[in-house]
Homo-oligomer: A and B are copies of this chain.
């Protein structure tokens, strides 16, 4: 039998014989990237990275219909600057660690993934999306009146090119599966019940490559982009704290959160 580990919010299903683990995000209802959840994701990733039995992970969601709703607005509203700074550092860390992981990271996207949820998927090496018209994916920050940071932008440009990114980011486009595939936001679209099996099939191809050469090649491709953030990490944090602390932004976030609450009840 397979021993599962992980944490309350991150269910890890290891298959050491096959060299990979499935990392299931379980932060209901929408896998918001709260500080606690981010921290658990990073700890789970570290555990797998430091265990030589594992060469790959498949990230997927345990919450029906949603991959991840992205950043947790409650971490960005009504708190103090120290908290905002701590939160943003964790968001940076999530991207840096997944984008540069020496493990092969495959996203099995089984739900909608806006904003930070899309970023997480873009940080993978390969993206399989379930063919459900509701499962749109994209960096839709502008629609909330905010701006994706430059490293979100860089990651999208690296994936779909400058022109598609320019239009998608300005309009806050969420791409339904066929469109996501056409522009390259995802690599493969499969029937909803085949997302896991498709991710595992793809994984076989990645695991067949000599690991050391593959990792160095991944670094060759991605380090320049990661370095851009590393060089101005503190400035990026200060920038976020300053932006999010503005009265107008706090007011807009409160209104948005209020609307979400009313929707639920």
Task: Assess the A158–B162 pair: CB atoms within 8 A.
Answer: yes
Contact between B145 and A212, CB atoms less than 8 A apart: yes
A221 B153 Cβ-Cβ under 8 A: yes
Interface of chain A residues 144 through 197 with chain B (CB within 8 A): 144-148, 150, 153, 157-163, 165-167, 169-172, 184, 187
A8 at the interface (CB under 8 A from B): no
Is the C-beta of A250 less than 8 angstroms from some C-beta in chain B? no
**A142 lies within 8 A of chain B by Cβ:** yes
User: Which range contains the number of A residues in contact with the other chain?
Assistant: 35 or more
Cβ of A9 < 8 Å from any Cβ of B?
no
A143 at the interface (CB under 8 A from B): yes
**Chain A binding surface, main DSSP class:** helix
Of all chain B residues, which has the CB nearest A104? B170
The answer on a CB contact under 8 Å between B209 and A143 is: yes
Q: What residues of chain B lie closer than 8 Å to A166, measured between beta carbons?
A: 158, 218, 221-222
Q: Of B125, B142, B214, which contacts A213 at CB under 8 A?
A: B142
* Docked-complex contact A153 and B209, CB < 8 angstroms: no
Given contacts A163-B160, A163-B184, is CB(A170)–CB(B210) below 8 Å?
no
User: Do the beta carbons of A169 and B210 come within 8 Å of each other?
Assistant: no
Q: In angstroms, how far is the closest chain B Cβ from the Cβ of A134?
A: 20
Interface status of A126 (Cβ within 8 A of chain B): yes
CB A178 to nearest CB in B, in angstroms, measures 17
Contacts of A184 in B (CB 8 A): 163
The winner among A187, A205, A206, A209 for most chain B CB atoms within 10 A is: A209
- Enumerate the 8 nearest inter-chain pairs by beta-carbon distance, A residue then B residue, closest first: A142-B213, A145-B210, A166-B221, A147-B216, A158-B162, A169-B217, A145-B213, A170-B217
Q: List 28 A-B contacts (CB under 8 A).
A: A125-B167, A125-B170, A141-B213, A141-B217, A142-B209, A142-B210, A142-B217, A143-B209, A144-B210, A145-B210, A145-B213, A147-B216, A153-B217, A158-B166, A160-B163, A162-B221, A165-B221, A166-B218, A166-B221, A166-B222, A169-B217, A169-B220, A169-B221, A170-B206, A170-B214, A171-B206, A171-B214, A172-B209
Give the B-binding residues of A (Cβ under 8 A): 125-126, 141-148, 150, 153, 157-163, 165-167, 169-172, 184, 187, 205-206, 209-210, 212-214, 216-218, 220-222
